[in-house]
Structure 1
Amino acid sequence: MFFGSIPALVTPIRDDKVDEEAFRRFVDWQIDSGSAGLVPCGTTGEAATMSIEEHDRVVALCVEQSAGRVPVIAGCGSNHTTVALGHMQRAKAAGADAALVVLPYYNRPNQQGIIAHFTYLAEHCDLPIVVYNVPGRTVTDISVETLAEVAKLPTVVGIKDASGKLERVTGHRLAIGPDFCQLSGNDETSLAHMAMGGAGCISVTANIAPRLCADFQAACREGRWQDALALQDRLFPLHTALFSDASPGPVKYALCKLHPEFPQDIRLPMTWPSDASRKAVDAALAHAGLV
């Protein structure tokens, strides 16, 4: 259902407001550069600092501007199940193709609570769900066995896995089946993820290098592993530099280096990256041949 390079879109902010025209241009650039889908209102998009109204507006803008050219997987997660449901219902009304639903954070539900959370969402909204597992941020982790139970829900179609546990790609295939859509949540390990049966990557680096990330994913899908390895080597310093300080600071800095007109604002408590981080990003952009 979903495949290839799918950027977790940054949100351009100017004077503490979403810059809608800059966002529309950014969506067009991503699609024109080969991105196979779009994720608005994820972690990289600063969704945690958005009001509900802003969140809904950014999803609607993304759907409107993409105009059916690529699927839109709208960030809809919350640690409050009914709030997540509201995001899903409004994303569906806006025309999104699926919801990216992160495991409930801070609350730290047990595995039965995770099942109950996704069951409630699936029973009350038929928008397809991509489970998002990122225990480094949520503290909560979904086991292979629990995901297999959740995947029995008819609208749960895939997972974005940022657990860092690559062995789970095979575990999921054996427990759920090869048709379950597995998307990497980590750019730096996406090559291994794809070799083990992944379908693509919900990517941070694709914000900066959409064409290179799209070419990398195409090489993996077509079994051109030497080409994929060469692109991995070219992109790897960028994958790591974009997390050399709190995200999305380094990503926004990199975008402003490539596109000086891109708004530089970041909402507190996030800040502009450190000098060391900016130097790492500068070196990585040069290594990738982007500057």
Structure 2
Amino acid sequence: MKAVVLYEYGDPSQLRYEDAEQPPVGDNEVLVRMHATSVNPVDYKIRSGAAKGRIPVELPAVLGRDLSGEVVQAGRSVVGFAKGMRVMGLANGTYAEFTTAKADVLAPIPEALSFEQAAALPLVTLTGAQLIERAVKPQPGQTVLVTGALGGVGRSAVHVARKHGCRVLAGVRSAEKAEAAVLGADQVIALDDETETVHLHDLDAVADTVGGPTASRLLKALRAGGVFGSVLGEPQGAKDVDVQVHAFMAQPDASRLYELADEVARGEFTIPIGKTMRLSEIEEAHRLAEAHKVKGKIILVM
């Protein structure tokens, strides 16, 4: 089979598209013929070495988290995964023509979604949902600000917070305000415009997907005892204010993924696809993603 192998940390040229051994199938695993995967920021942060302190990998490694494909073989202890079944999941080593995953991380792909559409969903939708449901844990009626609301994680967080009955503020850049109207948030806030952010105060929670100085500034917009949920770790200055910080990393959750994918299939929210490329074009895909040259997910097809 063909796979993308990382031998050393560095720029995209370190990603080698080459022949590799097909992985063996464990008793509780499923062998999947990959049809599509996607590029996520964590992929190029791992590749560059920027994330090695937080997410160590043993090199050489096959990167990739989004799985979308069909079942080839199920392990001896696995039931319910027939050959040819279309599956999706948050897994590892998905930059390959074949990969294995624990059966309990795999969900059926809703009939209305293509392999490519499904490949855009696992990491960002589960991260956005868990940011709200496991980190922020808001009560109905509370006000939640979601930063980076037009990104895949942000869109998912806005959607899930609305489903939980929250008053949702979508935080974006000034140039994105018109586009953000499609998110259905109660209000859109330009986080790079001080004339708008100065009015933010007594928020119940911030669901942060951007980090950096923006995250630090927003700490003061929370009410005393408010919650700051983050996918990027504790923001600078958090210890100086009376807030709860809940930083986390997304975990596989097959049943929740299916629910979210079904809501995408029904048009309740969208994760836009910006560009579709071949897996063999992985170097260019990482360059485009890292430079933020594509608006929407970059999908890799096998």
TM-score, scaled relative to structure 1: 0.30
More strand per residue: 1 or 2? 2
Structure label with greater radius of gyration: 2
